[in-house]
Amino acid sequence: MSEYVRLERTGPIAVVTLANPDRRNAQTPALWRELAGIGRSLPGDVRAVVLRGEGTSFSAGLDRRLFPGGGGVPGEAALTDLAELDEAALDAAIAAFQEAFTWWRRPDLVSIAAVQGHAVGAGFQLALACDLRVCADDVQFSMLETSLGLVPDLAGTKPLVDLVGYARALDICVTGRRIGAQEALALGLATSVVPHADLDKAALETAEALIRAPRDAVVETKALLLGAATRSYDEQRAAEREAQGRRLRDLLGAGE
């Protein structure tokens, strides 16, 4: 890990910390590469991952030094450099960035974002990448990409629409307005809201509660719920039967 990302483990729970508080945990492609690498290298016995940001903000989004006139980040391409790529190369570059945001919902683990202060743009999308969001009472979500002439492209639009619906997602993205803790809770963006001082404790307690059930049952249940939005009612019932059949055979030792 770099000085700006930490990975710590306590048994089956891993904690990933964005550790650049002086820049409000602003994000760069280097950070995304590290997060993607964590997802690829997590040991198989990890069952829950807590994602947190050090300091007053979870993440203020893309490092503004990457924008035109921002001075640049050593070793990183500026947005103007990306714009000069051909279509295939640009698609591949953005797809590589998205890898940092896509592994958090895989069926074999449960992820919890502990979100305080600003969660802006890429920071908002990173929180949306997780299964659950435990939020401090000072949280401020905002999706500023459209206001800057861009679009949210870090895999955040699907979970946002799933959580709040199309109309509210359009409002959030196009206006770029701030969403505080109580509105986030009412919309379903926040799973729970706690005092800022209690955030880390609440996130870890949530992780501990989520791993009390047998691992295979959690994996099957999560896969069922993740697929529910794309299945018809009858298809979902069939998926439930298949999953329960696997669980019964496993619990009773049938078919060995």
205-210 long-range contacts (CB < 8 A, ≥24 apart) are: 206/112, 206/132, 206/134, 207/13, 207/48, 207/49, 207/50, 207/110, 207/112, 208/13, 208/48, 210/47, 210/48, 210/110, 210/112
In this predicted model, what pLDDT tens digit does every residue of 168-200 receive, in sequence order? 999 999 999 999 999 999 999 999 999 999 999
> What's the CA gap between 134 and 35, in Å, rounded?
20
Backbone φ and ψ for 72, nearest 5 degrees, come out as 85, 160
SS3 251: helix
Catalytic residue among 3, 54, 99, 145: 145
Backbone φ and ψ for 131, nearest 5 degrees, come out as -65, -40
Residue pair 152/143 in contact by the 8 Å Cβ criterion? yes
**DSSP tag of 108:** T
Residue 74, pLDDT score? 85
Residue 254, pLDDT score? 59
Whether 145 is a known active-site residue: answer yes
Low-confidence stretches of the chain (pLDDT < 50) are 256
